[in-house]
Amino acid sequence: MGRVKVQKMPTIRRLPTYLYRLNEMRKEGTSIVATPELARYMDIGEIVVRKDLSITGVTGQPGVGYKIDELIAAIREFLGWNVETKAVLVGAGSLGSALIGYDGFEEYGLSIIAAFDRDPAKAGTVMRGRPVIDMVELEGFVRNHKISMGILCVPAAVAQDICDIMVKSGIRSIWNFANVALKVPADVIVQREVIAGGLALLSVKRLRHFAETDDEEE
């Protein structure tokens, strides 16, 4: 793994999709994959695929392709997904309950071991196999179980408060689905997920498409 240049956001964002597809191919019994096939699946250029894969350190065989097992292992190692990350989720509402039970995350080394919610009707229940616990127990739970990641699925208005509790409890990585910029100490990493961003992109593409098909004169 020659150099670890971590600025390439688009590449890193694409890695889970490669991983997903490679796992699928392995299940189908394939052991080698060449760039053109992956490029078709990803809907990007072949050269982009090669550059993407190269940051993991794997080398392929000219005229042949890459070994799927090697690629899977390398991507998982590059992302740190070869070791389990324990997470808690706060806000067992509609989005939270979707994430809690999502099987896909286990493949990514992410274990959401409990959810927390303020709602007394939810605390004490079990949601998709995971316990939903009252907020007052959050800090102790995080310390006892050495949780390193927090997933925020609460309304934006209270996200900063919950974030503060997470940080105080020792959590250093926060995956934030509330649309607010969280203020955190320098040693805490926050990833904000704006699902509506994709909708905006889709909307603009559609408008552009209409505009193109409309004016034949320009």
Ligand X SMILES: NC(=O)c1ccc[n+]([C@@H]2O[C@H](COP(=O)([O-])OP(=O)(O)OC[C@H]3O[C@@H](n4cnc5c(N)ncnc54)[C@H](O)[C@@H]3O)[C@@H](O)[C@H]2O)c1
Partner DNA sequence: CGGGTTTAGATATTTATGTATCTAAATCTT
Partner DNA sequence: AAGATTTAGATACATAAATATCTAAACCCG
Q: Write out the residues near a second copy by the rule CB under 8 A.
A: 4, 6, 9, 12-17, 20, 40-43, 78-81, 85, 94-95, 97-98, 101-102, 104-105, 108, 110, 128, 149, 156, 172-173, 175, 179-181, 187, 189, 191, 193-209, 211, 213
Nearest approach in angstroms of CB 164 to DNA is 27
If contact means CB under 5 to 8 A according to the sort of partner, which of ligand X, a second copy, DNA, none does residue 61 touch? DNA
- Whole-angstrom CA distances from 159 to 93, 115, 153 are 14, 15, 8
- Taking CB under 7 A as the binding criterion, the range among 32-40, 79-87, 131-139, 189-197 that sits at the site for DNA is 32-40
Closest contact distance (angstroms) between CB of 165 and a second copy is 19
Tokens of 191: 């990833």
Interface with DNA (CB under 7 A), residue from 31, 40, 51, 168: 51
Angle, alpha carbons 138-140-142 (nearest 5°): 65
CB of 212 to DNA, least distance (A): 16
Find, among 101, 188, 97, the residue nearest to 150 by Cα. 188
In the complex, which residues of this chain contact ligand X (CB under 6 A)?
A: 90-96, 98-99, 102, 104, 117-119, 135, 153-156, 158, 162, 177-179, 195
